[in-house]
Structure 1
Amino acid sequence: MIIRFLIALLFFVFAYVQLNDPDPWLWVLLYASTGAMWGVSVFYEIPKRVSQIGVVVILVGLLFLLPDFINWVKMGMPTITATMKAEAPHIELTREFLGLGICAFAWWRLGKKNSSLS
């Protein structure tokens, strides 16, 4: 239960720091909804169908960003963490791809039955 609460809190922090992003509302919604579902899971079991829908929606976003991620890999994976300001398009797009990946994993994990995260 404590781990689920901490995961929820972490995603709410992720949502908060997105407020200074050039396109904040999509990312705030993504991270906050992930945090909300983990928060709800502290008290109730999340139906597997709900988590599956979340994963599918996020996978669609990952597919849109996949070419940019592959391009970054082909570039030799230059740093995306040197500064917080995204000075080149590949920085922002790669960060968004990785953020979606984290959320997809969180939603997938949320739908696992008999989760060891109590």
Structure 2
Amino acid sequence: MKTFTKYFFAFWFLAFLLFAYWQLNDPDPEIWVSVYVAAALFSALAFKGKHPLIPLSIGIIACIIGAVYFFPDSVWDWIGFELEHKDLSMKTQESEEARETFGLLIVAIVMSVSAFVGWRKKASINKT
């Protein structure tokens, strides 16, 4: 299991750096580049076996609040729009916000995995 988690966090470290790079031409890059760089840093820490539970918890809560804020009126309309156009360029503000919602949810999920691994690690240390 230890090897799997190392590969998991290595993958997300690289993916979040790539996501940050793609955000450089976003209308508000300072927000989204920062979010993905922070997620990459948490993934790098997790790769090294460090899981700072309080900062991770704050990050998870912030991402969930942001995802709720940006959540599109209709997820199915957005998915249909994306599939219909088969084009990843931003067409509407709603499609951009939908993508930002799912980006935040991905960050929250990966940070939650790190927090869970850290919590289990801490619990096993406290047992001994």
Under a length normalisation based on structure 2, what TM-score does the superposition of the two structures give? Answer: 0.75
- Percent identical pairs in the alignment equals 23
The runs of 4+ residues in structure 1 deviating greater than 4 Å are: none
Q: Which amino acid in 2 is paired with 1:80?
A: E
Kindly state the Cα deviation for residue 72 of structure 1 after the two structures are TM-superposed. 4.1
Cα deviation per residue 1:3-50 (whole Å; 9 max; x = unaligned)? 322221111111111111121111111111001111122224212222
Q: Which amino acid in 2 is paired with 1:79?
A: F
Higher relative contact order (CA 8 A, sep 6+): 1
Under a length normalisation based on structure 1, what TM-score does the superposition of the two structures give? Answer: 0.81
Give 1:12's aligned residue: 17
Where does the alignment leave 5 or more consecutive residues of structure 2 unmatched? 1-5, 122-128
Cα deviation per residue 1:64-108 (whole Å; 9 max; x = unaligned)? 112xx23343x4742236323211222111111111111111111
SS at match of 1:79: helix
Once superposed, what is the RMSD of the aligned Cα atoms? 2.0
Q: Which amino acid in 2 is paired with 1:103?
A: V
Give 2:66's aligned residue: 61
- Alignment of 1:26 with 2:25, yes or no, is no
Q: Kindly indicate which of the two structures has a greater share of residues assigned to helix.
A: 2
Contact kept, 8 Å, 2:68 with 2:101, in 1: the verdict is: no
Matched residue pairs, number?
112
Q: Which amino acid in 1 is paired with 2:97?
A: L
Give 1:104's aligned residue: 108
Where does the alignment leave 5 or more consecutive residues of structure 1 unmatched? none
Contact kept, 8 Å, 1:15 with 1:27, in 2: the verdict is: yes
Contact kept, 8 Å, 1:72 with 1:90, in 2: the verdict is: no
Q: 2:59 and 2:89 mapped to 1: Cα distance?
A: 29
